[in-house]
Structure 1
């Protein structure tokens, strides 16, 4: 079973998304803050993690410790994880230039705005990134 990585500091949102991932057939590697997520990436790179590597990162942007775009940037530096799709989510408005900077500087593939869409739409938005069919609007 494939694994997806989830980083979200709000427990309710993390639990809802975790259940969605599981219903869609994915194991979840979850973290409640950026520090633990970055430590996991470091463990993967150092060969200290022996589990299945995640095939996707979904992370909140604003949270304690390194934020979502910093985690994305760290993923892109990882020899073992640098190719996985990265999706960020946020409840805050971002300008087109901010969104573009996340894509250009941090390797973010997509940004999803909260409140999160319904189950089917959320799945579609993620799968477009996984399948390589998502095209940013600008």
Structure 2
């Protein structure tokens, strides 16, 4: 299961410009393992990462991310594994359901609030990934 975003790259942009922008995006977000092979830039992070310099010390990473540049069509594709973010959002909603089950004991509230919580978290996660490709495309196309 992947989130996939495609953008057009302006004419005159070299593969090196695209590679540099994608690598910079990974480095900004502190993705550990960055591999560049031809026109595919892959970033992989460990599933759990402890980072005490940030506000939240435990970071749940989505796994692998791919920037795939098609030089002939001038398109950049950004693919992100969506399994782990959706799984953790579902777990958070399940925990919220259990908390509400023991304290509220009202079936509609127990179902609606965790359901909305899951939808909101998944939507925010999706738009965060969309913001990554928008930022990379702005950086590439402004050169």
TM-score range, shorter chain: under 0.3
When you count strand as a share of all residues, which structure comes out higher?
2
Normalised by the length of structure 2, the TM-score is 0.25
Identify the structure with the greater helix proportion. Answer: 2
Higher relative contact order (Cα pairs below 8 Å, separated by 6+ residues): 2
Of structures 1 and 2, the larger Rg is shown by: 2
TM-score w.r.t. length of structure 1: 0.26
